Amino acid sequence: MAYIKEIAKYEGQEITIKGWLYNKRSSGKIYFLLIRDGTGIIQGLVLEDNVSKKTFELCDRLTQESSIIVKGKVRKDSRAPGGYELELNDIKVVQLTESYPISKKTHGIDFLLSNRHLWLRSRRQYAILKVRAEVIRAINDFFDSRGFLRFDAPILTPSSCEGTTTLFEVPYFDNKVYLSQSGQLYAEAGCMAFGKVYTFGPTFRAELSKTKRHITEFWQIEPEVAYANLDDIMKLAEEFVSYIVKRVLDKREEELSILERDTKLLEKIKLPFSRITYKEALNLLDKQTEAPKLKWGEDLGAPQETYLANQFEVPFFIHHYPASCKAFYMKRDPENSELSLCIDMLAPEGYGEIMTGSEREDNLKILEQRLKEFNLPKKPQEWYLDLRRYGSVPHSGFGLGLERTIAWLCGLKHIREAIPFPRTIDRAYP
C-alpha cells in the first residue's frame, strides 16, 4: 500500500491506494476519478481497454465519498494535478456512499457548519487544517529550541483571569468552577519554578460578541518569562510570530496556494515590527472616517482594529494602553500610573488583534489593591498572591490566539474555519 503524498517514489510501479472518491468525470471511454487518501489527492485514469467490463461499469455507479481501494500504475504527467496520475486496473468498493450531503454546488454556511464532520474532507478545509498543524509544530519547535518548558495549565479553574463577564461556569461536585479563560496565572507560577515556560491549550470565553474574530473555545499559546520586561517580551513576540510565518511559507506552500492566499505580504515580514503607542493609535483614528473615533480611555473595538490593521502590511504592536481597559494583573507604567505596561499585536490586512501581553504586577500590596478595584474575590487567588509573597520578581508574558493567527495566515474571512470543530455563541454541534 502507498500514500499519495509519496507518489513520486513509485513512478512506473504498480501500487494500491486506500481512500475515498473525491470527484469524477467521464468522457466516453475514459473515467477520471479523483481519489483522496488523507495525504493528498490523485487523478486515477480508467480506460475501457485496460480494465474488466465489471470494473468499467462500476465507475458509472461510483458516488462521491464512496470508500474505495484501487490498484494502478504510477505515471508522471506534468498536466495532472500534483504531477502524477494513476492508470487504474482494479477498483474495490469498501462502501458505496448514498447521497453524500455536500456536493459541488455551493452550500450555505449554516449547512456546512452543521456538516462540519464531513466538510473537513474538502480540499479547502484540508489545506487550512494542514496549515494549523504546521503552526502548532512551529510553536513547539520555537519555544522548545529556546529553552522554554512546556507547562500545561488546568482547564477547570477556581477564578477568572480575564474578567467575570465571559466565564463559563461548571458544576463541580458540591461547588462550582470555571473553564479557563487563559493559562497565564498558572504560567506565572511555572516561570517562578522554571524561569521560562509556555502553556498551550484550549481556553474558553462566553463571548456574547458574534463577530468573525470570536469563538467560545480557542487555543492559546502563553509564554511567561521571569525577570523579563515589556521590551524583552516584545522582542520574543515578534521573533516568535515571524518564525511561524516563515515556517508556513516554507512548508505549506501548496496549501496556501490551494487557499489562493496571496503570500507577497507574508514574505515581506521582517524584524523589528512597528511599535505605536495607544495614544498614536488614537491619533491615527482621529484622522479617518471609516471607524468611530475613540476618546482616551476607551478600548479598541472591531471597527477600530480593522481600520488600523488595514493601514499596515505586516504585524505591528500597540503598547501602553490605559489601565482602565486592561486586566487586573498588568503592571502600571511607573512614569504614568494611568497606563499599563502592555502590548497588543495586530495582524495586518484588517485582521486585528492576535496577541496581548504585559509586564505583571509583582508587588503584593498593589496586586491586592487591584483585586479590590476589579471586584475580584481574594480567596481563590491566594495561591497567585503567594507568588508575590515568596521570591517575587519582575516578569512578563503574552498570549497568542492560535485560530486568529491561522485565519490571518490562510487569509480566511472568518475564524470558524481555523479550528476542526468551531464553537460559537449559537453553535456547539457537531
Q: Per-residue x/- mask for ligand 4AD, residues 379 to 418, rule CB under 6 A?
A: ------------------xxx-x-xx----------x---
Can you tell me which residue has the cell 487586573? 328
Stretch of 3-11, 296-304, 350-358, 364-372 lying at the interface with Mg ion (CB under 5 A): 350-358
In whole angstroms, the minimum distance from the beta carbon of 393 to ligand 4AD comes to 17
Length of the chain in residues, anyone?
A: 430
Can you say how many angstroms the Cα of residue 328 is from the centroid of all Cα atoms in its chain? Answer: 26
In whole angstroms, the minimum distance from the beta carbon of 22 to ligand 4AD comes to 31
* 31: three-class secondary structure by DSSP: strand
Cβ-contact 406, 131 below 8 angstroms: yes
CA distance 184 to 189: 9
Q: Per-residue x/- mask for ligand 4AD, residues 146 to 165, rule CB under 6 A?
A: ---------------xx---
Segment 38-97, which members bind ligand 4AD (CB under 6 A)? none
Name the residue whose CB lies closest to ligand 4AD.
401
In whole angstroms, the minimum distance from the beta carbon of 397 to ligand 4AD comes to 5
Answer yes or no whether residue 184 interacts with ligand 4AD by CB under 6 A: yes
Name the residue whose CB lies closest to Mg ion.
356
* 345: three-class secondary structure by DSSP: strand
CA distance 360 to 342: 9
Is the Cβ of residue 395 or residue 404 nearer to ligand 4AD in the bound state?
404
In sequence order, which residues have a C-beta less than 8 Å from that of residue 12 and are 6 or more positions away? 73, 74, 75
In whole angstroms, the minimum distance from the beta carbon of 166 to Mg ion comes to 12
Question: What proportions of the chain, in percent to the nearest 5, are helix, strand and coil?
Answer: 35, 30, 35
Size of interface with Mg ion, in residues (CB under 5 A): 1
Q: Which three cell numbers stand for residue 216?
A: 467560545
Q: Which three cell numbers stand for residue 138?
A: 512551529
Is the Cβ of residue 356 or residue 424 nearer to Mg ion in the bound state?
356
Answer yes or no whether residue 66 interacts with Mg ion by CB under 5 A: no
Cβ-contact 127, 46 below 8 angstroms: no
CA distance 410 to 416: 12
Size of interface with ligand 4AD, in residues (CB under 6 A): 23
In whole angstroms, the minimum distance from the beta carbon of 162 to ligand 4AD comes to 5
Cβ-contact 182, 220 below 8 angstroms: yes
In whole angstroms, the minimum distance from the beta carbon of 401 to ligand 4AD comes to 2
Segment 201-260, which members bind ligand 4AD (CB under 6 A)? 205, 207, 214-215, 218, 220, 222
Segment 308-367, which members bind ligand 4AD (CB under 6 A)? 353-357
Region class of 107: left (phi > 0), else alpha (psi between -120 and 50), else beta: beta
Residue 241's binding partner among Mg ion, ligand 4AD, none (Cβ under 5 to 8 angstroms by kind) is: none
Residue 352's binding partner among Mg ion, ligand 4AD, none (Cβ under 5 to 8 angstroms by kind) is: none
Q: For the residues of 66-135, what is the DSSP string, one character each?
A: -EEEEEEEEEE-TTSTTSEEEEEEEEEEEE---S-S--SS---HHHHHHTHHHHTTSHHHHHHHHHHHHH
- Position 53, amino acid: K
Cβ-contact 416, 113 below 8 angstroms: yes
Position among 55, 184, 306, 356 found at the interface with Mg ion (CB under 5 A): 356
CA distance 224 to 191: 6
Is the Cβ of residue 42 or residue 113 nearer to ligand 4AD in the bound state?
113
Residue 160's binding partner among ligand 4AD, Mg ion, none (Cβ under 5 to 8 angstroms by kind) is: none
In whole angstroms, the minimum distance from the beta carbon of 183 to ligand 4AD comes to 7
Taking CA 222 as the corner, what is the angle to CA 219 and CA 225, rounded to the nearest 5 degrees?
170
In whole angstroms, the minimum distance from the beta carbon of 259 to ligand 4AD comes to 20
Number of Cβ within a 10 Å radius of residue 266: 21
Answer yes or no whether residue 299 interacts with ligand 4AD by CB under 6 A: no
Residue 182's binding partner among Mg ion, ligand 4AD, none (Cβ under 5 to 8 angstroms by kind) is: ligand 4AD
Stretch of 12-20, 24-32, 353-361, 420-428 lying at the interface with Mg ion (CB under 5 A): 353-361
Residue 340's binding partner among ligand 4AD, Mg ion, none (Cβ under 5 to 8 angstroms by kind) is: none
Q: List residues binding ligand 4AD (CB under 6 A).
A: 161-162, 182, 184, 205, 207, 214-215, 218, 220, 222, 353-357, 397-399, 401, 403-404, 415
Which chain residues interact with Mg ion by CB under 5 A? 356
